[in-house]
Chains A and B, each alone.
Chain A
């Protein structure tokens, strides 16, 4: 099985590599656009004549063979679906597939934009993503700065490990924990509320509690992971800076503000761009798990709706249109924020 996979892989490898190298039309245009960059980067073999270029490619055939399976993966599971996105503009039929189903233009988009749920779904998605980011982004930074104050040793390792531990708990289990602890009849939280004389709250069955519960549990589950990334960045700060500041009489708070924070600023900005780029993707699985008939007014997101319409009701084209809308929204956000980060002269993703 592996053998045949390898053979088919090397066949496509030849196509994939000869196209950008040999084909004179689209590839050469791309090359002229990029030529100043390649010249600066010193990419070998960007200038020489056609034949030596081909020889150069052939000499590296073993590298292409090593890359081929991954490339094949991307062609099949990333680019083929991209090509298949055209069913958003068609009426998908199993017989017609991606390319032969009847063309209907923007019909599905119009249907989605004019549906009564459109406003709610889009605002639910954006609101949840933004509120989630607003809490989940700064908290790991604060936690890392605080943990970084602890001296190296057993205590610090313990604190780090505990805060980090929920990263390894699956989303299914986290949501299971939520359902149990927040149960209206006998959940831990409601028992505590009753103990202090309050009225039990039906957390998982009310739209207004959906977002707070979602965000709080995200922080619980995920903050530790990013904290470790920031801690690694903090460990890279030259201790001499701290010593010098201490001699000058700077308090801990001052050193955090003027040494630690600037030291991890590049990491912060890269993670921020990535977080924004994934703004609309993150946590959809959790929303799907947390969704109940009673909280659907707040928990219905673009992606959960795509899942329901597409995979449960098999309206492939309509769902693909909604999914495409989501991808484009995501792309727009990412490009915008990358531009903003670039303007701010911090590092950008590319």
Chain B
């Protein structure tokens, strides 16, 4: 009798306890996991920064963990004395600027047109674009097309072949569909506005968030891209920064610092300086973008929302 009465009470007590404990425990576990994730993301980057200004020999011996040791700026001096880095930087600025302008213009105008429900052939045209998401010719035919167009080793090769991504057109279309009511257009048409006029005077000014998002997406993509440059450019004078970095970081082609004259010891020193140069190159290429993250992230969150409307 007593046991029968007892059991449910203790069971309930146990459940209460578990419930009361679950949240603090859960919070602690959340904090621990997120803390680990933060360290895993930050530490490698932090290490590279402190290693880039430490004496290469100290880095080599594994003495650099939390603070720079024997601060030196030799790596940066070498890096910034390398003309290929500056040329790469200048090329990247030009390619990124032009490619972004072209891409955004194409994506936004196409997205607007395909959002028009009264457009004859809208389904067919959308279908034409979406097909390419599911099937493509592959890099070899694409390369041959670019070559046949005479675009190899030209600025055009860095702008045209990758100008439009279907996914972005769909995002733009969705944006216009949900932000430009048909009534607005009909009213403008009543007032005698042509399609051009409506697009440039009404649709574009109302789509600033979309345009900003597209600019940010394309800036980051174009700035970070290297593959088109790898296959379409042979002339090192045209290389964008990423290709220059690849030569320094991955292929260890250190144009400036590879004078290996003299004995083994100075060879080793040169090797270590070469490593230092790599750290410096990573910081040089990454810090500017990192500083923009809080600013950029807002756009991407917006973008995720614009994109999520569809699903």
Which residues on A are within 8 Å of B, measured CB to CB? 16-17, 20-21, 27, 30, 34, 38, 41, 43-45, 53, 56-57, 60, 62-67, 69-71, 73-74, 76-85, 87, 92, 97-98, 143, 146-147, 149-150, 157, 159-166, 168-173, 175-177, 179-181, 183, 185-186, 188, 191, 194-195, 220, 224-225, 228-229, 231-233, 236, 249, 251-253, 266-267, 270, 277, 285, 289, 303, 306-307, 310-311, 316, 319-320, 323-324, 326-327, 331, 334-335, 347, 350
List 29 contacting pairs A-B, 8 Å CB cutoff, sorted by A. Answer: A66-B195, A67-B114, A70-B110, A80-B137, A81-B142, A81-B145, A83-B141, A84-B145, A161-B297, A162-B42, A163-B41, A168-B290, A168-B296, A170-B245, A172-B245, A173-B282, A175-B249, A176-B281, A176-B282, A177-B48, A179-B249, A180-B48, A224-B41, A228-B297, A232-B301, A306-B138, A306-B140, A320-B140, A327-B138
Proximity bits, B273-311, A CB within 8 Å = 1, else 0: 001001101100110011011101100110011011001
Query: Told that A172-B246, A175-B250 touch, could you supply 14 new A-B pairs with CB distance under 8 A?
Result: A34-B123, A66-B199, A78-B137, A157-B294, A164-B297, A166-B41, A169-B289, A180-B249, A180-B279, A191-B62, A228-B297, A310-B140, A320-B140, A331-B135
**Interface check B119, CB cutoff 8 A:** yes
| Of B51, B124, B242, the contact of A20 (CB 8 Å cutoff) | B124
Number of residues of chain B lying within 8 A (CB) of chain A: 104
**What is the CB-to-nearest-CB distance from B67 to chain A, in angstroms, rounded to a whole number?**
14
Cα–Cα, bound, A267→B231 (Å):
35
Partner of B144, one of A84, A195, A267: A84
Q: B30 on the interface (CB 8 Å rule)?
A: yes
Min CB distance A186 to B, Å, is 4
Q: Is the CB of A253 within 8 A of B26?
A: yes
Known interface pairs A70-B109, A306-B138, A310-B139; A228-B300 also in contact (CB < 8 Å): yes
A85 contacts B30, C-beta separation under 8 Å? no
* B250 A69 Cβ-Cβ under 8 A: no
A85 and B141 alpha carbons, distance in the complex (Å): 6
Q: In the bound complex, do residue A172 and residue B226 qualify as a contact, i.e. CB atoms below 8 Å apart? A: yes
B60 nearest CB across to chain A (Å): 4
Name the B residues within 8 Å of A323 (CB-CB).
137-141
Q: Which of B5-21 contact A (CB under 8 A)?
A: 19
* Alpha-carbon separation in the docked complex, A243 to B164 (Å): 44
Determine if A252 and B23 form an interchain contact, defined as CB atoms under 8 angstroms apart.
yes
